[in-house]
Structure 1
Amino acid sequence: MKNKYYLLICLLLSSILGGCDARWDQVLRVKKVQPIEKIDLQGIGAEQMLPVQFPGKSALLIASKNKGVLLLDSNGDHLVSAPGRVETLAIQSLSQGSLLVAAYDELSAEVKLYKLKGGIDRKPVLQYLGGRDEISPQSALCFYQNNDRTHLFTIGDDGLGHEYLVSPGPSTWELVEIRPLYFGEQVNACAVAPFNEKLLFSQPPIGIISMNADAEKDEERKLLMQADQLGEDFGGLWIDHSGNYLWLTADARLQGYELKNLQEGSDQTIYIDSNYYPASVGVIGKNIVVLDEEVDSLLYFEYEPLNPPEHPDLQLVDEFIPRIPASAQTQPVSSAGDAADDPAIWVNRLHPEQSLILGTDKKYGLNIYGLSGQLVQQFAVGRVNNVDISEIQHPTYSAIAAASNRSTPGIDLFAIEKSGKVEYLGLQKLNMKDPYGLCLYYMDSRLSVWVSDKEGELHQLDIHLGQDARNWQLKHVSRLPVEGQVEGCVVDAQNGQLFYGEEDRGIWKLDLHRYSAGMGKPKLVAEVNTKSLVADVEGLALYLHEDSGYLVASSQGNNSYALFSRSGTEFIGNFRVDMNRELGIDASSETDGLAVTGANLGTEFPMGLLVVQDGRNRMPSGRQNFKLVSWQKIENILNLSSATAN
């Protein structure tokens, strides 16, 4: 069987390289290929090579210990350079045929940015744009195009890395940190596969590893190829211009992989003479170009692709979902880890711009924020999970807020004065193991609350305030069995409807009037799928404006928000909360709770406000917080004026 396997490899190689050697060696009996051309780089100390393509012209970009960043033509002649001591670099296409270059200069201990411009009739120009100091020497750089934004991954010799947002600043280009990353030592190359947005990095002696490049997703690191499959010296990752094919160097081999089938093994392997030491590899036309750093030379090999794909797959993992930049964000919560959970909005009817956001820190208590995100009050009452607000008729208080408490299983109550001051009214215990989701409402002259037990039941309770609100009481009304875990819920008091989200099943609706009469049963109105509503279904809220409205749900599985008609039966569209580069606010992801209002809250939020919990706070990485989004932007991008609201 092994001889047949070796023969098959030999036959495949013969189609690329013109036949196999008749002499069989001890390991893999194939011909060691000689270059068709060798170009001496004359002692520039080349460390890395990247093929570049200008309109009508191909060239090679070199990281040089002696010459810095150096652009060569295919004959090895110098076209343009920038001084320094450079060992690693990366390139990214810009508009109008120019390229963005990142290079780590050891002399200045700086990641430098350049714009490289050129063409068939123009002399290339290398323009310095700006840079950022790095404490540790950098061993790998690679760009990542995320929508219309350019990101740069840097990986240091010490194993520490960073992701930066790269963009023009007032005077020079800027690298704004999105997140730190830890890779471990001995990473020597990286590249981002555009069709599935995976960051690939080579790390002897472990292997080739992949992770999600998008900072708003779980890293999901996977070992694609083990080191013992590749040999002792591997790296030199290069993805072709189609974004469909990966080449790497491995000892005295050049290996090619279709990116969609990486774990199935290479489908092209070229064995070169063992006297050469390939460090970088790339394809230009019908040649494979290799940088041999040991002898400071470029090697050219004849090459014809083996079964080239007719239609390279450039489709990204996620289909297009509209993105809306956040307008503001709150200060991070006090607790580390998964702590922020659920918000609620109090509308100041006298001074709308002084409205408040209540947000739970499920390891500490309840936070109160202004609309600019500043923290104005804090209540250390324990592990409160969900919070909701209902307006009431009272001489002192404008509204009541209730929160589920998991430290002492029960409900915490808060009163909000007309001035906006929040007062704690105490806790009432529940005969419940783990109070989880919660929604508060005022209907039929009763202040009521639905609370879910994490074990799988919904409980309906009435809240009696009494003359002294601090002496409030709870009265159990009913228990609603549910099959799965429920956290998000909301009540449309005007229409007498309860909506609740079964996390891995979908959104259910219950007619409360029929239910109280013993006739109503829940109905599944929006089922979990792979596009519009992706498990887990977490936060639920109702946007109400005059007589119309929408049901908003956190579609946690694809980091989006699903919009339905007020009845919950018609899907309107979905969107994501995106980065606001100008304000330095990152995107939101893995949202638990959300809240929305249709009230005019001033010039920033004239059509209302959506507040969402952010599971990954970036730019820079920090403790979780809440993002604020203008409803007017949602209405504009989803064209809600023509959508069904009721």
Structure 2
Amino acid sequence: MTRKTLIFSAAALALAVVLGGCGPQIDKTAAAQKPLTPQGALSLSNVVSSQLAPLVLGGADYLLLASEKRGLVLVSAEGEEKLALDGGKVERFALQQLEQDRWLIAVYDEDSAQLQLRLLDLEQGSPRIRYLAAMATTAPQVALCFSRQAERTHLFAIDENGLGQEYVVHPREQAWEFTGVRPLYFGEQVSSCTVDDHSGKLLVAQPPLGIWSLNSDAEMDEDRQVFATPAELGDGEFGGLWLDSASGNLWLTSGERVLAFNINVPGKPHFVESLADMEPVSAAVQRGSLLALEEESDRVQQFAVKLPEPAAEIQAFRGPVEIPRVRASGQTAPVQSGGDAADDPAIWVNPANPSASLILGTDKKSGLSVYKLSGELVEHFPVGRVNNVDLRPIQHGKYVAIAAASNRTDPGISLFGITGEGKVEDLGLRSLDMGDPYGLCVYRRGADLMAWVSDKDGPVQLLQIVPGEGNVDWRLQKVAELDVKSQVEGCVVDDEMQMLFFGEEDGGIWRLDIAAFLAGEAKPQLIAPVDGERLAADVEGMGLYHAGDNSYLVVSSQGNNSYALFSRDGSQFVGHFKVDINLDKSLDGSSETDGLEVSSASFGDQYPQGLLVVQDGRNRMPSQTQNFKLVSWADIAETLQLK
């Protein structure tokens, strides 16, 4: 076990002990009831099983069992064997219904040390199991569970050392594939897992610590919490998690008992029964009866019990409102710095050859990076802790565009010149009378090049960038100052309308008529408040998509990992979307986005209607340092049915 895992496990154990001491306890009256005696049993032949799960095929009830001698065994609800795999030693499997009469199975085969995918379906009315794919593993897998996300199937697999992996499992021409998404760390003694797709929670049993709950979506914060502590589960081994999604009941075993929890209510179980003369390791419900299986057993015991009613919230459940998803089209190379480093992009459109345009992206721990549209790194300028970057064309003898980036190392603005050939040159730092330069956006006012720069703990300054002939004689001239109520980072200016839009991270989107403000006749207006749905705090990056009457203000809504589109003046909400996985290109989606930029220029076949570039706070598939994701505007327009 690594030092990191040991530290985490020790901290988790301490947390579980504290929670166990003060949390709700099992009803001692219920726990002291007379043990249940079986009302019947299904006798199996040479199965030696430690896991069972019910399923339906062709309208008939079946049980699937892991077999240490025969791989997988399928029996009818009456115990009649219907089929088995030839050979293999299987102790754990995951089961997911793809559609009616089609079930996906993941197993860990100890003999071959492989994760395997199988398909259970019907052939001429009879059950059959077909091979789909296999992948070698470096350690035995002790917990497997499926999740359904955005019409994709995800598999969580946790090994005996407590190292988990999330995969997307998906069909290809010849066989299914395992595409790695992210690692997960638990420590030793994990016994089982399951996923509640309604709430998007992954539940992991880890004796003696308890049952963990964490987000199953890799693009969200892990948000690991204790679902049930040892005080609710008992001192012995517990696990065998099985979720009855129709009722919202989470079933598991602990010692000689079977427990059920309301999946939406962490803490005390609402069903506790002891079983006579057995210590089950797997339990489920079928045909109104409780089924229980001992470790390495050939007998499934059946118990007549009063089952808990479906949870009220499950009965009324209508499902969450799903935000539309648009697949990523490309990505940049990862930034050099680890942790929260990538922040804000800008797009330089090469007027002579749009396909040779550039993306500028800040690494707020080290400097500014320049990328091709393919995502390849062209150059990195180690100029310090640059936060936001923006650029505009300029009439100049040497440069066709100027980029400016707020620099927090030595408070000021780093300037960069871009030549007609696409070469970026560092023009140096221009100091500011500001404590901590943060947000920045550049615009043109007639022939003048202007910039708004926010102080992280102070007002926003309006500056003029005064050109020079050489690299050293460019300067900044302060024009005005705008007082704001709280922290401002994201901003963008509509040059034609001379309108500033800026984001108050916890408040919403503000709009300011610049000319009227400079004349002393206007103050900022809050035009789109944070509401937790269309716009969820923090409000971060902003960009303007210019296409005449079909122009939009695009804003990163960090709190729900989405991107909100508003009308050009910001007054009307148009729609929102998330950037999703693109399995064809082995790209993950984006989440926790800080900065973004968008352009309506045609960049060729891949981006014919323009390009959106967003910072990705969690770079997966595989897990790497942060980067920037590229999205085709044509895909956005199609998904949101824009004009």
- Whether TM-score is above 0.5 comes out as yes
What is the letter of the counterpart of residue 102 of structure 1?
A
**Alignment partners' CA distance in 1, 2:339 and 2:187:** 22
**Alignment partners' CA distance in 2, 1:105 and 1:294:** 16
Q: 1:371 corresponds to which residue? A: 373
CA contact 1:236–1:281 (8 Å) conserved in 2: yes
Q: 1:208 corresponds to which residue? A: 211
What is the letter of the counterpart of residue 78 of structure 1?
E
Q: Report the CA distance between 1:312 and its aligned residue.
A: 3.3
Q: Report the CA distance between 1:147 and its aligned residue.
A: 1.7
Q: Report the CA distance between 1:243 and its aligned residue.
A: 6.2
Superposed CA offset, 1:198-226 (max 9, x none): 00011100011100000000010111111
CA contact 1:488–1:539 (8 Å) conserved in 2: yes
Q: 2:263 corresponds to which residue? A: 259
**Alpha-carbon distance change, 346 to 367 in structure 1, aligned in 2, over 3 angstroms:** same
Of 549, 565, 569, the residue aligned with 1:563 is 565
Quick check: 1:104 aligned with 2:108?
Answer: yes
**Alpha-carbon distance change, 619 to 317 in structure 1, aligned in 2, over 3 angstroms:** farther
1:343 alignment partner, SS class: strand
What is the letter of the counterpart of residue 106 of structure 1?
E
2:416 alignment partner, SS class: strand
2:531 alignment partner, SS class: coil
Q: How many residues align?
A: 618
Alignment of structure 1 residues 86-97 onto 2, 5 Å: 86-97=90-101
CA contact 1:339–1:362 (8 Å) conserved in 2: yes
What is the letter of the counterpart of residue 295 of structure 2?
E
What is the letter of the counterpart of residue 72 of structure 2?
V
Of 409, 414, 418, the residue aligned with 2:420 is 418
**Alignment partners' CA distance in 2, 1:272 and 1:606:** 66
Superposed CA offset, 1:393-431 (max 9, x none): 123211000001111111000010011111110001112
Of 187, 192, 206, the residue aligned with 2:190 is 187
Identity across the alignment (%): 48
Greater CA drift, 459-468 or 348-357: 459-468
Superposed CA offset, 1:89-146 (max 9, x none): 0001123411000000111110000001138x72211101111111010110000000
Q: 1:16 corresponds to which residue? A: none
CA contact 2:249–2:310 (8 Å) conserved in 1: no
**Alignment partners' CA distance in 2, 1:353 and 1:454:** 36
What is the letter of the counterpart of residue 123 of structure 1?
S
TM-score, scaled to structure 1: 0.93
Q: 1:49 corresponds to which residue? A: 52
Q: 1:551 corresponds to which residue? A: 553
**Alpha-carbon distance change, 311 to 216 in structure 1, aligned in 2, over 3 angstroms:** closer
Alignment of structure 1 residues 399-478 onto 2, 5 Å: 399-478=401-480
Q: Report the CA distance between 1:178 and its aligned residue.
A: 0.4
Greater CA drift, 208-217 or 297-306: 297-306
Q: Report the CA distance between 1:317 and its aligned residue.
A: 7.1
Q: 1:525 corresponds to which residue? A: 527
Of 84, 89, 100, the residue aligned with 2:88 is 84
What is the letter of the counterpart of residue 567 of structure 1?
D
- Alignment RMSD: 1.9
**Alignment partners' CA distance in 1, 2:580 and 2:312:** 34
**Alignment partners' CA distance in 1, 2:383 and 2:286:** 65
**Alpha-carbon distance change, 464 to 243 in structure 1, aligned in 2, over 3 angstroms:** farther
Greater CA drift, 243-252 or 99-108: 243-252
What is the letter of the counterpart of residue 634 of structure 1?
I
Q: Report the CA distance between 1:43 and its aligned residue.
A: 4.2
Q: 1:361 corresponds to which residue? A: 363
What is the letter of the counterpart of residue 456 of structure 2?
K
2:583 alignment partner, SS class: coil
What is the letter of the counterpart of residue 89 of structure 2?
R
**Alignment partners' CA distance in 1, 2:71 and 2:248:** 30
Of 289, 292, 302, the residue aligned with 1:290 is 292
**Alignment partners' CA distance in 1, 2:382 and 2:318:** 44
Quick check: 1:161 aligned with 2:158?
Answer: no
Q: Report the CA distance between 1:309 and its aligned residue.
A: 4.9
Of 590, 593, 606, the residue aligned with 2:592 is 590
**Alignment partners' CA distance in 1, 2:218 and 2:104:** 21
Q: Report the CA distance between 1:310 and its aligned residue.
A: 7.3
**Alignment partners' CA distance in 2, 1:533 and 1:6:** 40
Superposed CA offset, 1:584-631 (max 9, x none): 111110000000111111121111111000000111111111111111
**Alignment partners' CA distance in 1, 2:226 and 2:245:** 24
**Alignment partners' CA distance in 2, 1:219 and 1:607:** 35
Q: Report the CA distance between 1:372 and its aligned residue.
A: 1.1
CA contact 2:50–2:296 (8 Å) conserved in 1: no
CA contact 2:180–2:622 (8 Å) conserved in 1: yes
Quick check: 1:248 aligned with 2:243?
Answer: no
What is the letter of the counterpart of residue 108 of structure 1?
S
1:582 alignment partner, SS class: helix
2:78 alignment partner, SS class: coil
**Alignment partners' CA distance in 2, 1:344 and 1:317:** 38
1:635 alignment partner, SS class: helix
1:332 alignment partner, SS class: coil
**Alignment partners' CA distance in 2, 1:162 and 1:545:** 43
Q: 2:539 corresponds to which residue? A: 537
What is the letter of the counterpart of residue 630 of structure 1?
S
Q: 1:332 corresponds to which residue? A: 334
Greater CA drift, 588-597 or 220-229: 220-229
TM-score, scaled to structure 2: 0.93
**Alignment partners' CA distance in 1, 2:476 and 2:440:** 14
Q: Report the CA distance between 1:169 and its aligned residue.
A: 1.8
Q: Report the CA distance between 1:41 and its aligned residue.
A: 3.1
**Alignment partners' CA distance in 1, 2:152 and 2:27:** 44
| Unpaired stretches in structure 1, ≥5 consecutive residues | 14-27, 642-646
Q: 1:20 corresponds to which residue? A: none
Of 118, 136, 140, the residue aligned with 1:137 is 140
Q: 1:196 corresponds to which residue? A: 199
Quick check: 1:604 aligned with 2:637?
Answer: no
Of 115, 122, 125, the residue aligned with 1:118 is 122
1:260 alignment partner, SS class: coil
1:46 alignment partner, SS class: coil
CA contact 1:244–1:314 (8 Å) conserved in 2: no
CA contact 1:238–1:246 (8 Å) conserved in 2: yes
Q: Report the CA distance between 1:151 and its aligned residue.
A: 0.2
Greater CA drift, 107-116 or 122-131: 122-131
**Alignment partners' CA distance in 1, 2:568 and 2:60:** 58
CA contact 1:342–1:360 (8 Å) conserved in 2: yes
What is the letter of the counterpart of residue 270 of structure 2?
D
Q: Report the CA distance between 1:196 and its aligned residue.
A: 0.3
What is the letter of the counterpart of residue 118 of structure 1?
L
Greater CA drift, 550-559 or 36-45: 36-45
**Alignment partners' CA distance in 2, 1:551 and 1:318:** 26
**Alignment partners' CA distance in 2, 1:123 and 1:635:** 46
Quick check: 1:505 aligned with 2:510?
Answer: no
CA contact 1:447–1:462 (8 Å) conserved in 2: yes
| Structure 1 outlier segments of 4+, above 6 Å | 5-10
**Alignment partners' CA distance in 1, 2:265 and 2:448:** 60
Greater CA drift, 441-450 or 238-247: 238-247
Alignment of structure 1 residues 56-75 onto 2, 5 Å: 56-75=59-78
Quick check: 1:227 aligned with 2:230?
Answer: yes
